Amino acid sequence: MEGGEAKKAANPRCYMDISIGGEMEGRIVVELYPGVAPRTAENFRTLCTGEKGIGPNTGVPLHYKGTRFHRVIKGFMIQGGDTSAGDGTGGESIYGLNFEDENFELKHERKGMLSMANSGPNTNGSQFFITTTRTSHLDGRHVVFGKVVKGMGVVRSIEHSPVGDGDYPTVDVVIVDCGELSEGADDGVSNFFKDGDMYPDWPNDLDEKPSELSWWMNAVDSAKVFGNDYFKACKLKLGDPKSALLDADFALREREGNAKAYYRQGQAHMSLNDVDAAVESFKKALELEPNDGGIKKELAAAKKKISDRRDQERKAYSRMFQVSVKSDANNEVMMSWTNIAEENSTLKIYMKSFGKWANIAGIQVGLKKKKSRSLEMDTYRKRKKLEPFFLKSSWSCIETL
Does the annotation count 138 as an active-site position?
yes
Q: Which of 45, 71, 108, 264 is catalytic?
A: 71
If one counts every other C-beta atom within 10 angstroms of the C-beta of residue 27, the result is: 23
CA gap 281, 179 in Å, rounded: 38
**Helix, strand or coil for residue 245?**
helix
139: Cβ contacts below 8 Å, ≥ 6 apart? 104, 107, 108
Q: Which of 142, 145, 236, 267 is catalytic?
A: 142
Write the single-letter amino acid at 254: E
CA gap 258, 225 in Å, rounded: 13
Does the annotation count 71 as an active-site position?
yes
Q: Which of 98, 118, 204, 364 is catalytic?
A: 118
Which residues pair with residue 383 across a beta bridge? none
Exposed, middle or buried by CB within 10 Å (0-12, 13-18, 19+), for 264?
Answer: buried
Does the annotation count 265 as an active-site position?
no
CA gap 374, 390 in Å, rounded: 7
Does the annotation count 79 as an active-site position?
yes
Q: How many residues does the chain have?
A: 401
Torsions phi, psi of 47, nearest 5?
A: -70, -25
Q: Which of 45, 47, 70, 79 is catalytic?
A: 79
CB 79 within 8 A of CB 129: yes
Select from 91, 83, 104 the least CA-distant residue to 40. 104
Task: Quickly list DSSP for 77-114.
Answer: EEEE--SSSSSSS---BTTBS-B------S---STTEE
CB 78 within 8 A of CB 130: yes
CB 362 within 8 A of CB 342: no
**Helix, strand or coil for residue 324?**
strand
CB 361 within 8 A of CB 379: yes
Q: Which of 11, 39, 76, 272 is catalytic?
A: 76
Does the annotation count 142 as an active-site position?
yes
Q: Which of 44, 129, 192, 282 is catalytic?
A: 129
The catalytic residue positions are 71, 76, 79, 118, 129, 138, 142
